[in-house]
Amino acid sequence: MAEAKTKPTSLSVESYLSAIVDSARRADCETLVKLMSKTSKQPAVMWGTAIVGFGTHKYPLAGGKFGEICAVGFSSRKGDISIYGVAGEGVDSGLMLQLGKHKLGKGCLYVAKLADVDLKVLEKLVAEAVRAKQVLHNGPLDD
């Protein structure tokens, strides 16, 4: 089996953020670091070269093996900010309706800018995602 490409690295979150050219996008990403750190109670860690992640989510693979990815995280992409771990199966659809302007992909939430969404609702989505992943594994995120 091939080794996962997206895994925690020693790259600097601060360097990643400071390299974001658009000052408004950089400020949005700095806000997401604060919101996700506070809500997940996990430090920001670079996963690969472009995902800022919080905690670890282990999930089953075929043959009794496990994969892992950040429990929640985000990445500044060309068009939008991709927010990982808060969308998909089991998400409170009522909260999604209250969130504001966003798009959904397979397990991904896309926002153009944080001003388009209600940050309190986003914080609840992050909290629910973290709680659901802890319950799934019957323990802290970094087991």
Distance CA 100, CA 6 (A): 29
Is 3 a member of any domain? Answer: no
Domain span including residue 77: 13-136
Closest CA to 101 of 88, 87, 91, 111: 111
Is 43 a member of any domain? Answer: yes
Domain count, the chain: 1
Tens of each residue's pLDDT in the chain, 143 residues? 456 678 899 999 999 999 999 999 999 999 999 999 999 999 999 999 999 999 998 888 889 888 888 999 999 999 999 999 998 777 888 899 999 999 998 879 999 999 999 999 999 999 999 998 875 554 455 44
Write down the pLDDT at residue 4: 66
Write down the pLDDT at residue 143: 44
Domain CATH for 53:
3.90.1150
Write down the pLDDT at residue 138: 44
